[in-house]
């Protein structure tokens, strides 16, 4: 067996050549990955844009079609008088159903600010019980959007008879008068009846933000 002796310079050159080979291999693998990744991202984004457009057109069709059906059903008297825009349409065979539902949000106008100020003024001057003070203030606490919470305000209004101070009474009355329900949008739900169980199965489709 022949023994080969390498100089330090030769060993260094061989080591550098090996490192260069590994680096080239790593770069080739990286380039292959990035090429595959970019192709995937561009493909799915292209498909997503296409589906987004289809959903947008689908929603526009739903809105228009339900408006037409609402007019016709009103003529037949088949929509409840207390309906606020939500109703469902079911196929004759009873296996398919589409529902339109109102997406509403509670809002309070500028009178709520005045009412809130009167309530806080009453609390600071007349209420020494820290538990009551904290409770009432928790009902006036706003959410992350800076809006009053409906359930909290309703709890506050239920306390109207607890005090007879004019500021308390007027403040709560202003809060109540300022309340209004605003229609944000219509939502749609699609259901198919299961032939075996007879139960309605939802077809999940969320395009409320479109």
Q: What is the pLDDT of residues 5-49, one digit of tens each?
A: 778 888 888 888 889 889 999 999 999 999 999 999 999 999 999
Residues in Cβ contact with 110 at an 8 Å cutoff, skipping those fewer than 6 apart: 178
Give the residue-averaged pLDDT of 72-87.
74
Confidence of residue 1 (pLDDT cuts 50, 70, 90): low
The percentage of residues in the chain with a pLDDT greater than 70, rounded to a whole number, is: 93
How many residues in total does the chain contain? 210
Confidence (pLDDT) at 101: 86
Give the residue-averaged pLDDT of 38-63.
92
Alpha-carbon distances of 53 from 41, 46, 49, 93, 96, rounded to whole Å? 18, 11, 6, 31, 25
Query: Is 186's pLDDT higher than 80?
Result: yes
Give strand pairing partners of 103: 185
Query: Is 152's pLDDT higher than 80?
Result: yes
Give the residue-averaged pLDDT of 108-118.
92
Confidence of residue 78 (pLDDT cuts 50, 70, 90): low
Residues in Cβ contact with 50 at an 8 Å cutoff, skipping those fewer than 6 apart: none
Burial class of residue 151 (count of CB atoms within 10 Å of its CB; 0-12, 13-18, 19+): exposed
Q: What is the mean pLDDT of the chain?
A: 88
């Amino acid at each position: 067996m022949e023994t080969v002796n390498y100089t330090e310079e030769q060993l260094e050159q061989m080591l550098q050549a090996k490192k260069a080979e590994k680096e080239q291999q790593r770069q080739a693998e990286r380039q292959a990955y990035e090429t595959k990744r970019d192709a995937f991202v561009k493909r799915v984004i292209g498909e997503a844009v296409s589906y987004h457009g289809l959903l947008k057109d689908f929603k526009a069709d739903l809105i228009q079609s339900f408006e037409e059906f609402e007019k016709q059903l009103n003529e037949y008297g088949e929509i409840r008088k207390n309906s606020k825009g939500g109703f469902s349409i079911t196929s004759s065979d009873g296996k398919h159903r589409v529902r339109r539902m109102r997406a509403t949000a509670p809002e309070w106008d500028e009178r709520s600010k005045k009412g809130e100020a009167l309530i806080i003024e009453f609390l600071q001057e007349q209420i020494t019980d820290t538990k009551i003070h904290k409770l009432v203030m928790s009902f006036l606490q706003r959410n992350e959007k800076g809006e009053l919470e409906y359930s909290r305000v309703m709890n506050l209004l239920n306390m109207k008879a607890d005090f007879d101070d004019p500021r308390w009474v007027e403040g709560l009355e202003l809060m109540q008068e300022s309340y209004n329900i605003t229609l944000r949008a219509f939502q749609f739900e699609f259901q198919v009846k299961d032939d075996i169980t007879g139960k309605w199965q939802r077809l999940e489709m969320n395009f409320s933000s479109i």
